[in-house]
Amino acid sequence: MQEQDPNSLELVRAAALRGVAEAQVIYGQMLLDGKVVERNALSAFSFFERAAKGGNVMAINMVGRCLDQGWGVAASPHLAAPWFLKAAERGLDWGMYNYATLLILGRGVPEDRSVGLYWLRKAAELGHAKSINLIGGFYEDGWEVEQNRAEARECYRLAAVGGDFRGQFNFARFLAQEGETQRAFYWLRQVPKTATPAFLEKMRKFLAESPIDALRHFAASLDQDADDAVPAISPEFEVVQC
């Protein structure tokens, strides 16, 4: 458990108990993460719910997340959907992304990729990297849009620069296919910094089975220091809207 100033932690807790919505969201996230206080998903859900009832848009989204993932409450994507939609309609990019994800997968709601893409585009306009990455998938696979590798590549690049680990992997995948393996290595080295263990396992499997020799060799180096073998190439930081 990380060290935390006990005074600041107590101030957040006290403010949350007094009904300050912003503090309730912060303290709820602390309880959910279990890094600075003992993890208690049930209590986290309670604080999110209280802040949501007060109209806090991030809390509204987090109630949806708890319901979707089963954090402190029985998992129910169906019940999560209206919370995500409410957050989306109030302009929160994360609400847009989460609601779009349910629509695309047909989890808790009827599958509707067209409406899902609508919300992803709304979130992308706000610079939401994960949404931009998913739009790239639409262009790569030809979902609801004409298949377009160039558009997919640009979306993945923007998502990678924006810090999304899936975007970093997808952009690296495209670069490797184009023969730019050194640039691909740069982005692959960024992925473990923020990726989930489950995604890293999938990435290792993909690289190990790749027909590209350089990627198969790279797979064996993933457990080394993240700074090893990173080429002295700076990523591109142009902002071009998807």
pLDDT digits (tens, 9 = 90+) for 158-175: 999 999 999 999 999 999
pLDDT at 11: 95
Q: Are 152 and 136 in contact (CB under 8 A)?
A: yes
Type of residue found at 39: R
Average pLDDT, the chain: 91
pLDDT tens digits, 93-133: 999 999 999 999 999 999 999 999 999 999 999 999 999 99
Q: How many CB atoms lie within 10 A of CB 83?
A: 25
> For residues 194 and 157, what is the distance between their CA atoms, to the nearest angstrom?
17
- Token pair for 85: 């939609």
* Average pLDDT estimate for 26-50: 96
From residue 183, how far is each of 53, 126, 195, 214, 228 by CA, in Å? 47, 27, 19, 12, 14
Q: Is the pTM of this model over 0.85?
A: yes
pLDDT tens digits, 3-23: 556 678 999 999 999 999 999
Q: Is the predicted pLDDT of residue 55 greater than 50, yes or no?
A: yes
- CATH for 1-75? 1.25.40.10
